Structures are given as structure tokens and as C-alpha cells.
Amino acid sequence: MRPLRALGAALLIGVVTLAAGCGSGDGDDGGQAGAGGGAVTVQAANGAVTIPATPKRIVSLSPTHTETLFAIGAGPQVVAVDEYSNHPANAPKTKLSGFKPNAEAIIGHKPDLVVLSDDMDGIVKALEKVKVPVLLEPSATKLDEAYDEILDLGAATGRSAEAKRLTDDMRTRIQRTVAASSKGKGLTYYHELDNQLHTVTSKTFIGQVYGLFGLENIADKAEKAAGGYPQLSREYLVKSDPDLVFLGDTKCCGQNAAAVAKRPGWQDLTSVKKGGVIELDDDIASRWGPRLPEFVQAIGDAVQKSPAAQ
């Protein structure tokens, strides 16, 4: 799962609600064969994927996985990424799309491995027909799955040791941040995906991250059959009066603390009056890969600074 990307929240919702099917990260030789140039098998959502040799021409159709590939040192092996992969800046961005993938365009980059998070328009089978190894790693639904996907990519690219170091560092940083932010219990929050009041509940990946701090999600009582991503009414939100408002739509929709303060009824919200509106980086908040600790840190900082904290 994202993610994810400088997109409108409607696209984000479509991506993160897809069922996860993460692999174990274990190759048939312990995930180390790729490092020596030999074959390695990775359990992904599309089954056991065998990569004959350490890939030298990787195509990534997922911003989250692009970030991971570069974070584990596999950047030099990446020859093309999708149009929304904007981090790191030196990623070889193209017009390739993960939402409307074109098999011919992908094959034109002569990949020996394609990494994606969604099997849109049957792209996995289309690539498998021409013998291109494909790793389908959907949006994570929990923290362990996010770590697992990073380990999968490490095994597939001959970077197992680097992937292990990265996940260990992520765990440590997240645990440290949560431990230092002990004032979240009892605080309520609202996480905004777009300026149409689409949000997340505690059952989603994002909601679980907030749950690490003991925060209470105002959307939990509002959801009926929205699959974890309900759209709130203005009246419901104003009545709920969350202590903290996290804006995950600063890039896609131009939202910020000043803008939301001008919305009808919002001027009376506790979060608006007391400086509890937090402007997030859309990409960091929706891509659950190497920069996840930064998202967690933003929440931790907001909890520590909140006037409503006990």
C-alpha cells in the first residue's frame, strides 16, 4: 500500500483499501542468493516469484516501493519509475502509470524486475507472459506488513542486509518516538484525506499509527459501511470537536491551518483556536515505507505540544 503519492485523496483511498498480500521476505536460500548473483524466490501477493539473477533493470510503479528501493541501496539498479514517484529527486521518473499500466511501455525499458502495489488491468499476467519477474506488494494494512515488504524488496534485489538494517532502524525510531510521547491518551483527532472531509478510521493503517499514541479517532463512531474511509459531514465534525486535526491534503488540495479556519463552523473548533491543526506532508503520510518514522514523529510532536494533553 498510498501511496504513496502527490495525488488527490480519492486516489489514495482507492489504493489503500486494496487487500494486502505481503510476502514473507524469505528466499529459497534465506534471501541472500541475489547478493551473489544467483536465483532467489520471494513470496509476494502474486505467489512465489523467482528472480533468476540480481536485477539490473528494475521498473517501479509504486512511489512507496521506489522510496524503498533507493533507501536500501538499489537505486542504481532502477531504470524507470512511475509518474508519481517523486522521492528521491534523482529517481528516473517517467510517464509510466501504476493506475493505468501499459505493458508495452513497461517492456520498452527492458526490465528484469517490475515492482508494483496494484494489479491494475491485469498487468501482472501481461508481464509474466513475456517472462518478466513481477513483485506485487500491495499497500500494507499494518506495520509488520510494511516492514515485510521492505524485506521482500531487499531479498529480490540482492540487498537483504541493507533492508534488514533499514527496518530495524525504522522500528527503533518509531518506538523511541512513541515512548517519548506519553500524553496522547484521551486526546481525540481527525485525519483529513481531502477537503471533502474524507478520513480514516482506527482499522486502517493510518489509524493504527495514530493508535500507537493512544489517540481516539472521531471517525470510528461515524463509519457505517465505508471500509475504513468514511466521509464526515461538517456538522458531525464540528460537534465532535477533535483536539487535533491532521491535514493529509496540503499538497493535493492546498489545505493548511489558515484555510481550514475559514471553513464554516471551524473557527470554534478547539484544534483551530488552540493551534492543534497539523499540516502533514501528503506523501510521507500516505507512503508507508522508509519515511514512515517521519510521519510518526509528526504525530508525536503534535501530541507533545497539544494544549489539551493531560
Domains by residue range for the chain, with CATH: 9-172 (3.40.50.1980), 181-305 (3.40.50.1980)
Q: What angle do CA 143, 202, 65 make, to 5 degrees?
A: 35
Using CA atoms of 206, 198, 305, 255 in order, give the dihedral in degrees to the nearest 10. 120
Query: Is 56:112 a contact under the CB 8 Å cutoff?
Result: yes
Report the pLDDT value the prediction gives residue 306, as an integer from 0 to 100: 85
Transcribe 190-216 into DSSP letters: EEESSTT-BB--TTSHHHHHHHTTT-E
Give me the average pLDDT of each 10-residue run along the chain (310 residues): 40 41 37 62 96 97 98 98 97 96 97 97 96 96 96 97 98 96 88 96 96 96 82 96 97 96 95 96 96 97 82
Nearest residue to 219 via CA among 206, 205, 235, 236: 236
Other residues' Cβ atoms within 10 Å of the Cβ of residue 292: 24
Report the pLDDT value the prediction gives residue 36, as an integer from 0 to 100: 56
Report the pLDDT value the prediction gives residue 307, as an integer from 0 to 100: 78
First to last CA, the chain: 34
Q: Give the side-chain half-sphere CA count within 13 A for 283.
A: 16
Q: What is the pTM of this model?
A: 0.88
Nearest residue to 221 via CA among 247, 257, 251, 190: 190
**Cell numbers at residue 93, please?**
521518473
**Euclidean distance between CA atoms 116 and 30, whole angstroms:** 23
* Residue 173 CB contacts under 8 Å (≥ 6 apart), including other chains: 293, 296, 297
Report the pLDDT value the prediction gives residue 48, as an integer from 0 to 100: 96
**Cell numbers at residue 76, please?**
542504481
**Euclidean distance between CA atoms 108 and 24, whole angstroms:** 30
Other residues' Cβ atoms within 10 Å of the Cβ of residue 90: 9
